[in-house]
Chains A and B, each alone.
Chain A
Amino acid sequence: MILVITEQKDGQINRASWEPIVAAQKLGQPVKVAVPGADTASVAAELAGAQVAEVVRLEAPELASYTADAYTTALAALVAAEAPDFVFIPHTYQARDYAPKLAARLDRAIVTDCVAVKPYEGGFAFARPVFQAKLYADVVLEGPAPHLVTFQAGSQKIDDLARGAAPAPVRVVAAQTGAVRQQPEAPFREARQAVDLTQAERIVSVGRGIKAPENIDLARQLAEALQAELAASRPICDAGWLPMERQVGSSGQTVAPRLYLALGISGAIQHVVGMKGARTIVAINKDAEAPIFEVADYGIAGDLFDVVPAMIAALKE
């Protein structure tokens, strides 16, 4: 049996929780799903839609907000009681905080950040990134069951989730949490300054290729369509077309968004050092030889005044 520990907050399931369920289903063993918290009825009902043997609501008032101490004690007792072969957990920030502790408490092996499960000599090997994902390693775990595995977000397709014909049974287990030493305060987002590029998920950045200050508006429209922040390279801010606080590069902000879309930016090294950490870099530049294409994941060598309106239109579809 595989026990999957899911994650919820205020009655909202963390989407990453579905992925270890998918992984567990693929191994063809019975799957039980546990959801720790103080009030997990709605999340449990949602989880019961998946094809699983049982959903366990692990409840205690102390589990209302996450603490490593309470979660570890409660989950250790549950795992001991259920005696699964494996414990699968999504590799969330929360799991990173308690899963190793849980493994240590149980004195069992754990593999973190797993991206794939492979058959290996009658058991399983777990693929995980090492050396900052420049290499991957297949890892086998030793020692008595259960073995704990945390799954990287995106390692499984949630679309592959097998749904049950009828909702799975739901059971409530009253958890004992023991002494809790951490006192968490309410989660918060940083009071956002007028512009905080460092926290932006998506950035549309403009360079000299934008030609005139009145064209900035075109970039702004694209940024709105993408729900992105607007940024710029140094010449734009030097010229006063955008304020200095929107400048990306060694003289401005260092950013690491999921998407960095560079419009008419040539890619001078001082700019590149400020945005190289972006997960996906897109460059649109008339000059196919522009250095920015060296660091881009996707590129269009074309006139931004043609491409950008077409993108805005495509995004609105």
Chain B
Amino acid sequence: MKTAVCVKQVVTREWPLRPNDSKTWIRDQDATYEMNEPDAYALEEALRLKEKHGGEVIVVSAGPARVQQVLREALARGADRAIHVEGDALAYADAFAVAEALRAAIAPEGVDLVLTGLQSDDQGFAQVGVVLAEKLGMPHATIIMEVEAGAGSLRVKRELEGQFFQWVRMPTPAVLTIQSGINTLRYATLKGIMAAKKKEIKRLDPPAGARSRQRIVNLYLPEKSKQTRMIPGAPAEAAKELVRVLREEARVF
């Protein structure tokens, strides 16, 4: 089974988020980056499928030169080779431009399966996988909690709302977006890091004509931040007030 895994590089979760002067993106000078966590689950799933069924895992990322870091990391964790579609604008691009870049890298490979995380920790579009499927002419399914791979077909478990799930069958090649928590991530090992040094990262230019259709015109902090609200008063009143806020404000029942 030949699997492509699309990973994105995002700023680390501890990076202090502040809008830049033009309020079109965050201040990311000197930022530290990491692999988008949902994509890490997709990679893990691909590695597990390979361990079970054999084959090859190709990790693909679209972005500036710095995304080689996450490609290296993926190789260290067990991916066989990497493709880097290099372009500075891809760091802020919309799902269409990113999907087009990924399509250009994946289409010639003739893969059986394309996996990616459900969404990214930065833009959070939750679109790239689906758009990519359309561009590759492959069927897709999203928010996947389990993958059963057969010969030429897949059976996957989708998460639905209200704690419902659904199994869906489809032919391969197909695109799946993976829900975080589908598996337990493996940690990076020295053995893997050493093996990764010998693996290949292929570099591609982004395809012409892929441009974003959306742009951020204002970036800002949400109004409220989380703080503990202590409810004062005698026990009976406090209890009553608590039930009211839970019902009307928090809307938990």
Contact = CB atoms under 8 A, between A and B. Distances in A.
A131 B250 CA distance: 22
A18 interface: no
A273 interface: no
8 contacts: A97-B143, A108-B213, A130-B122, A134-B17, A140-B215, A295-B228, A298-B242, A303-B235
Contact of A300 (B163, B220, B231): B231
A297 B19 CA distance: 27
Contact of B240 (A138, A139, A314): A314
B20 to A, nearest CB: 11
Given A139-B216, A297-B226, A311-B242, A279 B252 contact: yes
B239 interface: yes
Interface string B23-65: 0001000000000000000000000000000000000000000
B134 A101 contact: yes
B76 to A, nearest CB: 26
A135 B239 contact: no
A289 interface: no
B214 A142 contact: yes
A301 B235 CA distance: 9
A279 B252 CA distance: 9
B170 interface: yes
A140 B217 contact: yes
B222 A132 contact: no
Interface residues of A, number: 79
Contacts, number: 220
B201 interface: no
Contacts of B160: 93-94, 187
Given A97-B140, A105-B134, A310-B236, 7 more contacts: A97-B130, A97-B158, A100-B130, A101-B130, A185-B166, A188-B164, A307-B235
A187 B165 contact: yes
Contacts of A28: none
A138 B218 contact: yes
Interface stretch (A56-64, A79-87, A110-118, A242-250): A110-118
Interface in A99-126: 99-101, 103-105, 108-113, 120, 125
Contact of A188 (B141, B161, B165, B236): B165
B142 A300 contact: no
A252 interface: no
A182 B242 contact: no
A101 B239 contact: no
B242 A142 contact: no
Given A104-B135, A297-B226, A68 B213 contact: no
Interface of B: 13, 17, 19, 26, 94-96, 99, 121-127, 130-131, 133-135, 139-143, 158-161, 163-171, 212-222, 226, 228-231, 235-236, 238-240, 242-246, 250, 252-253
Contacts of B164: 187-189
A41 B100 CA distance: 40
A149 B242 CA distance: 36
B126 A112 contact: yes
B246 A280 contact: yes
B177 to A, nearest CB: 9
A39 to B, nearest CB: 20
Contacts of B244: 314
A96 interface: yes
Contacts of B19: 135
Contacts of B133: 101
Interface in A34-85: 67-69, 72
A298 B141 contact: no
Contacts of A166: none
Contacts of A72: 134
Given A96-B143, A202-B253, A306-B235, A133 B222 contact: yes
B168 to A, nearest CB: 5
B228 A296 contact: yes
A129 B221 CA distance: 10
A96 B142 contact: yes
